[in-house]
Structure 1
């Protein structure tokens, strides 16, 4: 019995029927492909919609424009047009086959051969197509069976597929963490043998894959597997068995606290404070991400959770508490709204202090007392300011 795509919310989005008509989908001119098909078969939500078509990119543009669909040439050299139809955004890509590959980039030629397009994709579960109207599934390499058994399997020879694109090593483990139950033996052997190929990749691409891996369903188990197989060693030797243990502890704390998994927090768990600056710089994380890792791995002197949240921010404090396995405090703080200090330096000037550095120092004293008292209301903050200003003025007048 032929397999068909189940009903799903995304399949009824506005404009998809018009897009299918423009591309001749009912005559085999276009099909849904990739993640939307895979995730729908698994009952998972779908955000991005991709369509594959037999039509050359210029013909795709012509057909879309003739039907009143906006066509944006986002990647036209590689066959990709972004179609915007009634507010729905779809990536439309011409069928391709690889001409040459160097482990990082591929030169492609356009084709009208669906099997050739499927053959250049990495894993069987990513090479599934579905008719745009009836939803009939087209599966050239057994991807539906692999989905059913939780198997992430390369299409063709794993060593050759890795030689074509070294990033497929990390993608193998990311998809294993998200969808897999048991690693495909041939794929695992090939990734282990070619782990040094990761050194040819940009650190940005590595960082992107690692972040996606860390929030996957079985991130802990797969990170342990990668450590055991030496996958990280060429590019992230800091990730070792102790790092995997820390990640396991964090994921347990997140679950107990009811806090959603977060890639940057989990990356922090893999590092020590001594390693953080070097690794986050090597991965070319943003300044905000690097600061967050540093805050998560920082130390504080017996500071109450709310004070910590006020001083470094709720996000950073929750990260630090979860890394420290303080589930109760992290749970409480995750629901806490950081108060706003109700005074400015002008309040102390009004109380007689001269403008300048003394005001800033006195204001910090007021704020410290306000924090110590548990963030009282504005009236109490004003009373604290009165007391500090009086103390400060008496000290100035009686040096």
Structure 2
């Protein structure tokens, strides 16, 4: 594993002032930033855990001239606003009661007690803010070295506390795990898969999108299908769709196309716009995402006949999606920009065609021929226009 001090975030110039305000022995870097630093990965968020209660955190940071935002103060989280980026500062906690969707917490002062309420061992690593010495209470360092995603304590208990941890498990396994997967975790996810039905659709949709955005989620998605988890959160999928996702990932890689969660979600659905719309609504996708997945679902084999015409008619994004989903090459679109028709209706009128339906008809015919001829230049387009006007005589 890499030294934590190699990570870019540890070099942020304003972190020491935050640590000084809280007291170096009263706070620890925790979670993803520590895990990712040890793996040599870029961390997108920096989180601090502290013994101080939220009101004390706010007071200390105010006295140090650091602005705060109470982003989750009821759960003990205050966001420190630094020039180099925000840092979430969260008071140590312990669970008082859980119901699978939310937890009632109490503030704590013991680092191990706080670690015990976290989900996976690799997420319960704490680093001293000055020495960067790692505190590991549940074997997270060994699991990280072995690329093993393992629940802290009893997997079933962890899932009963928060049902979303099933989906988080698969997302973390797709990102950090190796085979064979942890047997206890797999068994627990299979047994408790039905509990996912009680979660908010937004939370489920967010987790699915984050999983599908990873470099290659297809083996993990296939395992979710085998364990009966996928059928709960995405019943429209099936064996054929899971196989299509694997082919799509390969096609993206071979075509030099960046991974995309919505395209991959479309691969898991039948090519049916009505079904795509239902899924998009259920997962609370944005309007833009809903429109895109419906267009992806309307794909047919005819789309592969003229990729550039497809891109002109529907846009580059949809054309690329459809071709990849149809196991067709996107080579014709590489480095190509969608052109504009070189003429407008006013030019047809100026050429002697009376304003009205005939102008639209000529323009439509010219555009159709222009597409069929492979988008020729302006000179050739005007020749086509002249030919069509001559036909009106």
TM-score by length of 2: 0.93
Q: Which residue of 1 aligns with 2:350?
A: 350
Structure 2 counterpart of 1:82, from 79, 89, 113: 79
User: What is the rounded CA distance, in whole Å, between the counterparts of 1:355 and 1:287 in structure 2?
Assistant: 37
Residue 57 of structure 1 pairs with residue 54 of structure 2 = yes
Which range moved further: 106-115 or 140-149?
A: 106-115
Aligned equivalent of 2:320: 318
The whole-number CA distance in structure 2 between the counterparts of 1:389 and 1:107 is 75
Shift of 1:4: 5.6
For each residue in 1:171-228, what CA deviation from the matched residue of structure 2 results, as whole angstroms up to 9, or x when unmatched?
Answer: 1111111111132111111111000001001122111111111233451111111111
Identify the residue that residue 29 of structure 1 maps to in structure 2.
26
Distance 2:361 2:111 in 1: 71
> How far is the alpha carbon of 1:320 from its aligned partner?
1.0
Q: How many aligned residue pairs are there?
A: 387
Q: Deviations over 1:125-174 (max 9, x none)?
A: 11111112221111111111111111111111111111111000111111
Segment of structure 1 superposing worse, 375-384 or 289-298: 375-384
- Corresponding residue for 2:369? 369
CA contact (8 A) 2:3 2:37 kept: no
Residues 379-388 or 142-151, more deviating: 379-388
Superimposed CA distance per residue, residues 342-372 of structure 1 (whole angstroms, 9 cap, x where no aligned partner): 3332222323334444433332222222222
Counterparts of 1:1-399 in structure 2, within 5 Å, are 5-25=4-24, 28-181=25-178, 182-274=180-272, 275-297=275-297, 298-299=299-300, 301=302, 303-327=305-329, 330-392=330-392, 394=393
CA contact (8 A) 1:51 1:93 kept: yes
1:25-77 per-residue CA deviation (whole Å, 9 max, x = no partner) reads 2xx11111111111111111111111111111111111222222221111112
- CA RMSD in angstroms, aligned pairs only: 1.9
Partners of 2:360 and 2:77 in 1: how far apart?
A: 56
Change (3 A) 1:360 1:77: farther
Which runs of 5 or more structure 1 residues have no equivalent in the other structure?
395-399
Is the Cα–Cα contact under 8 Å of residues 221 and 230 in structure 2 kept in the other structure? Answer: no
CA shift for structure 1 position 333: 1.2
Shift of 1:380: 3.2
Rounded Cα–Cα distance in structure 1 between residues aligned with 2:43 and 2:232: 34
- Cα 1:331–1:135, aligned 2, differ >3 Å: closer, same or farther? farther
